[in-house]
Chains A and B, each alone.
Chain A
């Protein structure tokens, strides 16, 4: 049983209700994306969805139609695809172009005046660099089951973490700066890239007193969240108000990429092992299958 499976049993009814809405054709596009993300990781709910979808398919042509996609199913998927495509094709604003510039190494670490802090929410989704999705592979052999497989996940798989401090009308990248600082009145925004296609992501901060900041997942959830599947940088969660639970002093943010879920208990056990002194580059996790990325900054 995975952590997601357990979460379903701990919170009975939440995802089942979403699956029921598939049958009644009343699931919103936003809820479908949320459900889809959950189903990728939760076998229990995926099984429920599969049963429900066969019932839905049967509504579109009787029992013989139960094994081919129903029109309503294809409509739902199509709507989601078109919404995603529409979001991508919206013209980039000046702020969007500025965000794209920020994603370059030369832009990192500099503080840039922006119109308003709230605009960051608009900017960050457009940080992803465009990358041709379709690259013809011709007749070349495919090196399957190579070191990029789950048996050797770390040497060749890539992932990244970035953080931005949003203070009033200015935005600064915290990664790449040698003396990154962010005020208590500011907000923190985190983005990750997941070119290695890890399945799970855990984002946690640790301060000088070894106090933990749970960025993702949020309590009471305890298992790592589904990692973004986009190839570029993707914002994770909403902006974090630093004043809420960050004290002045050093903070290091750890992004834990894995295929099997990392739990809060794993993280707490690792933090308990950190000796006095500066925060380490990586958490001393007992597991070897986790790719870690981290960055440090000082709360002022």
Chain B
């Protein structure tokens, strides 16, 4: 994963702030940064080793991702990157600093994301910008936050998903499978069921709206009101 160290022309365009270059860099690294922020990392505070267990709720992760790349793409940060060392680690360091800044300024709100790392012996390492180990391997089952709750949610989502797909007519189901399950492009998905690009785009819009209505109808999107709030 050495995009900017191997492509000097891209590095120059990136440093100058060219939008296409920024977009290429974002697309290349966003998944690994999301993974880093989801899995968490360890750090030291005075004499203690703490572990940030990672963001599991979608908004927490989305917000942290956006803040990380916004910081990383500021002119000062772009020009601060030396083009020699790993840009991935540079991004990880920014993400890590972001989390620590949040922890400093929002101690109470961030407390669910922290746990002491006492008694972990050699595992209590500081990952200063390096890729963190998986949450499970670093701090046991507790860090794989979600657990049974996620399993239940996965089951519920699975049942809802199957119910929605079953209700679709055959052509729509074929398109749905190609476009959403197999992640084909709109054009490719349309071709699977003899639709033009325009028709495919219209069908996708309708399917999204039907999916939204279905999730409301089944009460899934109303459930948040009775299940409390995240973080």
Contact = CB atoms under 8 A, between A and B. Distances in A.
Bind each other:
yes
Contact of B77 (A63, A133, A146, A197): A133
B97 interface: yes
B62 A59 contact: no
A81 B212 contact: no
B170 interface: no
B154 interface: yes
Contacts of B23: 78, 82
Contact of A67 (B63, B66, B107, B150): B150
A243 B53 CA distance: 53
A267 interface: no
Interface in A41-63: 43-44, 46-55, 57-63
Contacts of B66: 36, 77, 80-81
Given A63-B157, A133-B76, A144-B104, A23 B183 contact: no
A54 B45 CA distance: 34
B58 A54 contact: yes
Interface in A226-244: 229
A80 B224 CA distance: 26
Nearest to B107: A149
A130 B22 contact: no
B230 interface: yes
Tier of interface size on chain B: 35 or more
B46 A59 contact: no
Given A24-B209, A60-B180, A61-B183, A85 B70 contact: yes
A290 B223 CA distance: 35
Contacts of A137: 93, 97, 128
Q: Is the interface of B mostly helix, strand, loop or mixed?
A: helix
Interface in B79-104: 80-81, 90, 93-94, 97, 100-101, 103-104
Interface in B180-204: 180-181, 183
Contacts of B161: 58, 62-63
B179 to A, nearest CB: 9
B57 interface: yes
A89 B75 contact: yes
Interface in B95-149: 97, 100-101, 103-108, 126, 128, 146
Contacts of B228: 43, 47
A150 B103 CA distance: 10
A43 B230 contact: yes
Contacts of A80: 66
Contacts of A77: 30, 62, 65-66, 69
Q: How large is the interface on A (under 10, 10 to 19, 20 to 34, 35 or more residues)?
A: 35 or more
A39 B97 contact: no
A77 B205 CA distance: 20
27 contacts: A40-B63, A43-B229, A44-B229, A48-B221, A50-B58, A50-B59, A51-B224, A55-B157, A55-B211, A60-B183, A61-B180, A63-B154, A64-B154, A69-B34, A82-B19, A85-B74, A88-B17, A88-B74, A88-B75, A131-B76, A133-B71, A142-B45, A149-B105, A150-B106, A150-B108, A151-B107, A199-B106
Interface of B: 16-17, 19, 22-23, 26-27, 30-31, 34, 38, 43-46, 50, 56-59, 61-63, 65-67, 69-77, 80-81, 90, 93-94, 97, 100-101, 103-108, 126, 128, 146, 150, 153-154, 157-158, 161, 180-181, 183, 205, 208-209, 211-212, 215, 220-221, 223-225, 227-231
Interface of A: 20, 23-25, 36, 39-40, 43-44, 46-55, 57-64, 66-69, 71, 73-74, 77-78, 80-82, 84-86, 88-89, 130-139, 141-146, 148-151, 157, 196-197, 199, 229, 259
